[in-house]
A and B are shown apart, each in its own frame.
Chain A
């Protein structure tokens, strides 16, 4: 065992007892000379640094005929960068004990790094991250292989009832809107390596980069890091905003599948990030289907009738209106009965809103559990990166509890009436009898 590791192991047993109370989260924010926006939370309790760099480079940025481009571009960035081929990137990261992560969702593409904080580890890890961000190789042979793997994974997923349901749901909600685009075997087949190169050059720009850093660095070190990571990116332009989603015509789509369970999804495009109804909808949804074991859907569908193991509802706020969704899986023979119970509960909630007791319980849990949302560096990173990417107020976490407490039952009912219009609800049932 080399000396460094020995020392580290000795040191490990000590960290658990270091007493650093964390009273709230102080977010430092600035713009790097490169143009990137930077968000930094200094946390010295553990010898770890987490960095996440986000870009407006998610699937919603795919050209209409090139669905899958964002995802494949992000996937290839780790596989060979700067002076390193794909094996060298993987080997160097492994030698350092550093973890590279991230991916592309609908709005956002992320590249994240977790590294040990000692200078000799972190310096090398940051250099790899810089290369992955700014100098991915987009090697032709690697591209062909990864596209083949992506097609294989897609074909496999298209046999799964949950994937079939989810794709049908998003297609029905968003149609031709960018949020409705989904990779197909055909669309992946159309992609060429130059598409990835152009997408990277246009979307991974300093101006649209949002850098979030949490961990054992000083402000000066964080400033240097943010600049180091983004200075080699093209300055670029901010991407044009995507169009507003229009509401779909409501209706029910039934798809066949041999599974033992039907997969049911009900919903519609509902909520943008930064919408003033956010708190009312979140507090209300806790009682409807968001509050784990204590929600109405859980009580009616699972506890009283034994119809499902998992049943939930949520709002997924996005840059444009993200979905409100109710989901459950149930034995295929009782799909209609279970769907009726879920719909009745939604209808009742839309008509009545939460009771006084429910509202009190929702607030008690959401406010009371707030410390649990920030009790690790990883959770702080996730929260701050979301604030950063979506441009939420810097005091979002500080004012969160007060904003929840202010919500009234009338506001919940009014907000649901504005955002969940029954005539626009789409229902997808896969494998139901």
Chain B
């Protein structure tokens, strides 16, 4: 510890007096008797705090016919308990000088408030209250389901690229629930009942299926005491068994087209890829992350340099891979061809980039550049309490202990050029490829309503 401190001081000329045990412990964790974990990261830069409650239930835990219920319930969580009336939750947070919202993903549902630090305990009491005591009235549901349908129209039905991604997922995954959109199919929203929301709430909203993440200018001991007082009163309950619903290996490429009012076509090539399960033993997810950075992680990466700037084949080209997920992974290549270039030429261009890496590998210089990006991002992330809380929460959500965060960075730093070429060879194969194309339609010729669910 002493070594670290000297190093720090010499690096940045900072004078700091740190108690060694603190360095080891921050973030701090405390598990309540009801199974709820509370993770606290002290960050004293400003007198504020982020409070997040994460539930281990996302759209992947839904069933056909009630897709979107995880997200609908997220909306209903603001509609009142016996103690806190409809809309009161937002009013109380606002009165405390706070901001709040929530988000639903395939893997989890999370709620957060950003508040002046002295209001933290009040937020904990509010979240603990709605964790087990939600009203879920039929009247409130009837209004809110309309809001959710408007949200679907806004974010999916009228967004050509979102519709393409939705169709891609439904084609790339045939068994695993990742095939369903988080917001749900419109037909399921139209037929959803308040009972569906109640069932979901009863099944998953229990302290032993949740954890709390707090980052800010707080004392962890005081936070743990507050957690005992608020969340500690809630009873645990057995959770349903989760079935794996594994996606079988893909045997042959798939292709699909989505027509929508737009000007430019979009091409997405999605390859099945592994995700991180064992931080120490896994190799491939780290190599795939670095490959993503070499291809499209920054302004000097290959796609921008070759496809956009040199060949002028694409208006834009990007890659997207996320190594952390509860379900199966995908490595996406996305391109919008320049005017006068076809989707087929775009696909050939993306394929040529992959082939080059499969044959020639990547240079040491490129890999070092990717690692520099990674290191800088880690530092920049510390400028945001919210980003730090998100990182802890997301690792936990996919079953990776948050304390492994640093180890993950070390493993990424250790990736070799040979490993990058190796994953490019093994995962970028046609048999596990799904290709999606947005076929742009003139505004006047498009169907008057674009709200119909996409079918294949």
Contact = CB atoms under 8 A, between A and B. Distances in A.
A365 interface: yes
Interface string B437-456: 00010010011111100000
Interface string B243-283: 00000000000000000011110000000000000000000
Given A9-B409, A371-B48, A15 B95 contact: no
A29 B112 CA distance: 37
Interface string A5-17: 1011111111111
A94 B299 contact: yes
Interface stretch (B125-133, B145-153, B167-175): B145-153
A17 B46 contact: no
B338 A378 contact: no
Contacts of A331: 149-150, 153
Interface in B377-414: 377-380, 382-385, 388, 406, 409-410, 413-414
B16 interface: yes
B263 A90 contact: no
B406 A9 contact: yes
A367 interface: yes
A374 B143 CA distance: 36
Interface residues of A, number: 90
Nearest to A369: B97
Interface string B85-99: 011001100111111
Contact of A306 (B8, B146, B380): B146
A372 B308 CA distance: 39
Contacts of B146: 305-307
A306 B45 CA distance: 40
A45 B45 contact: yes
A361 B97 CA distance: 9
B97 A260 contact: no
Interface string A354-375: 0000000100110111111011
Contacts of A9: 375, 378, 406, 409-410, 413
Contact of B153 (A10, A16, A261): A261
Nearest to B146: A306
Contacts of B116: 368-369, 371-372
Interface string A154-170: 01101101000000000
B158 A118 contact: no
A373 B385 CA distance: 13
A396 interface: no
B241 to A, nearest CB: 35
Interface string A96-127: 11111000000000000010111000000000
A15 B451 CA distance: 49
B177 to A, nearest CB: 24
Given A94-B373, A145-B309, A375-B385, A18 B154 contact: no
A376 interface: yes
A309 B382 contact: no
Contacts of A292: 90, 94, 99
Nearest to B405: A13
Nearest to A329: B154
A374 B46 contact: yes
A347 interface: no
A10 B409 CA distance: 11
A87 interface: yes
A22 interface: yes
A114 B45 contact: no
Contacts of A94: 298-301, 369, 372-373
22 contacts: A5-B375, A8-B379, A14-B4, A14-B8, A18-B18, A46-B45, A95-B372, A96-B376, A99-B376, A116-B376, A145-B312, A148-B338, A159-B261, A259-B261, A303-B86, A306-B146, A307-B146, A309-B151, A309-B154, A329-B154, A364-B95, A376-B383
> Would you list the 4 A-B pairs with minimal beta carbon distance, nearest first?
A368-B97, A97-B376, A306-B146, A375-B46
Given A11-B4, A156-B264, A372-B114, 11 more contacts: A2-B368, A9-B375, A16-B26, A47-B379, A149-B315, A258-B450, A260-B153, A293-B100, A294-B87, A361-B95, A367-B97
